[in-house]
């Protein structure tokens, strides 16, 4: 189920499509209202995150081009709520929003405390060493692919990381660094997966395998690992089970 409030760059926010549905308004009417009071919405934003309104593209519900929506923080959402007439549906949604913002703040506060644990810090530092070793080999693979004629070799670095995160984790929201919001168990899991990737890349390059075949091979290896291990959610109540 889609969350009402999500984490965007380590801050709870809600999209205007969700707001429009909850306030029983057309999305265009909501964004037009935000643009009318744009200066006020900008003043209510977190200046450490953005100097303007934060927008993102989302797939159209029907066929067509992606549509832009705004992502609002709690202050902006409260102000926007004052601009709409209350109905039972709107009041129910405001209540749901309030609870969702509180819940996300609790999760972020729990994460901060969690990261102070000595065992977390040890595993995080060990993970950084594994990550550096894997990224060195990924960069080597990018050069390898380029020599074999790849016109987009530089993209393999981000593609491999995105593939790994997509197969191993359920990520709702956008984080500055997804590893900074993982549990100790997730950090160990991603470290193991990176060792699998590192080994696959090294073996493929050693035997002069075509770069496309190497990528498909490591993808299959990670898929198998993910199937055996299972996927876990980033910033979830799973963290509470480790306390």
**Per-residue pLDDT tens digits for 23-74:** 999 999 999 999 999 999 999 987 766 677 899 888 776 667 888 999 999 9
**Which pLDDT tens digit goes with each residue over 170-191?**
887 778 888 888 989 999 999 9
What percentage of the chain carries pLDDT values higher than 70? 92
Q: Which of 40, 38, 50, 39 is nearest to 13 (CA)?
A: 50
Predicted local confidence at residue 239, as pLDDT: 46
Residue 117 has pLDDT above 70, yes or no: yes
Phi, psi torsion values for 71, nearest 5 degrees: -110, 115
Cα 137 to Cα 183: distance, rounded to the nearest angstrom: 25
Mean pLDDT of the 97-117 span:
88
Predicted local confidence at residue 236, as pLDDT: 57
The separation between the first and the last C-alpha atoms of the chain, rounded to the nearest angstrom, is 26
Predicted local confidence at residue 2, as pLDDT: 61
Domain boundaries, the chain: 6-109, 115-241
Cβ–Cβ < 8 Å for 32, 68: no
Position 104 confidence tier, pLDDT thresholds 50, 70, 90: confident
Residue 177 DSSP class: -
Cα 51 to Cα 46: distance, rounded to the nearest angstrom: 8
Least confident among 36-45, 53-62, 112-121, 137-146: 53-62
Strand order in the sheet with 173-174: 55-58, 67-72, 11-15, 6-8, 173-174
Predicted local confidence at residue 181, as pLDDT: 87
Quick check: pTM over 0.85? Answer: no
The pLDDT mean for the chain works out to 88
Q: Are strands 6-8 and 173-174 parallel, antiparallel or unpaired?
A: parallel
Predicted local confidence at residue 73, as pLDDT: 93
Give the range with max mean pLDDT: 58-62, 107-111, 146-150.
Answer: 146-150
Residues whose CB falls within 8 Å of the CB of residue 131, separated by 6 or more in sequence, listed in order = 179, 191, 194
Residue 198, token pair as written in the block: 């590192």
């Amino acid at each position: 189920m889609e969350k009402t409030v999500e984490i965007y760059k380590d801050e709870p926010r809600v999209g205007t499509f969700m707001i429009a549905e909850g306030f029983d308004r057309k999305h265009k009417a909501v964004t037009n209202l935000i643009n009318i009071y744009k200066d006020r919405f900008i003043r209510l934003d977190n200046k450490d995150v953005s100097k303007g309104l934060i927008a993102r593209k989302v797939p159209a519900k029907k066929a067509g081009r992606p549509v832009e929506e705004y992502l609002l923080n709690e202050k902006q959402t409260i102000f926007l709520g004052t601009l709409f007439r209350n109905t039972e549906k709107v009041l129910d949604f405001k209540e749901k929003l309030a609870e969702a913002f509180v819940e996300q703040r609790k999760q972020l506060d729990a994460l901060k405390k969690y990261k102070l644990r000595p065992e977390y810090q040890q595993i995080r530092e060990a993970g950084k060493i594994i990550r550096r070793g894997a990224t060195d080999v990924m960069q080597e693979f990018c050069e390898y692919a380029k020599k074999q004629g790849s016109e987009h070799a530089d993209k393999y670095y981000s593609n491999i990381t995105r593939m790994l995160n997509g197969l191993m984790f359920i990520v709702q929201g956008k984080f500055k660094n997804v590893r900074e919001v993982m549990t100790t168990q997730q950090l160990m899991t991603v470290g193991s997966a990176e060792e699998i990737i590192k080994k696959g890349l090294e073996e493929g390059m050693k035997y002069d395998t075509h770069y496309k075949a190497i990528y498909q091979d490591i993808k299959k290896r990670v898929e198998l690992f993910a199937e055996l291990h299972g996927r876990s959610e980033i910033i979830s109540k799973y963290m509470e089970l480790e306390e």
